[in-house]
Amino acid sequence: MIVNIQKLNGLWHLIIGSCRIQTPFLETQQRERVVAYARRVYPGAKIFERD
């Protein structure tokens, strides 16, 4: 599974395939927290970060 992390509309989103999942993190929060969240929610997934 591949998970892309991207900032959209002031929030961080996880993009998995064609699904966009809004996270509880604001754009101003650190990317490391979002990556840790994605690893916890989707263990074993490959995490890619986009800007």
The pLDDT, as a whole number, for residue 40 is 93
Give all strands of the β-sheet with 46-49 in edge-to-edge order.
19-26, 11-16, 2-8, 46-49
Cα(19)–Cα(30) distance, integer angstroms: 23
Instruction: Decide the pairing of beta strands 46-49 and 2-8.
Output: parallel
Question: Which amino acid is residue 43, in one-letter code?
Answer: P
Kindly report, residue by residue over 10-27, the tens digit of the pLDDT.
999 999 988 999 988 998
Report pTM: 0.80
Q: Which residue has the tokens 């809004």?
A: 22
Do 13 and 26 form a contact (C-beta atoms < 8 A)?
no
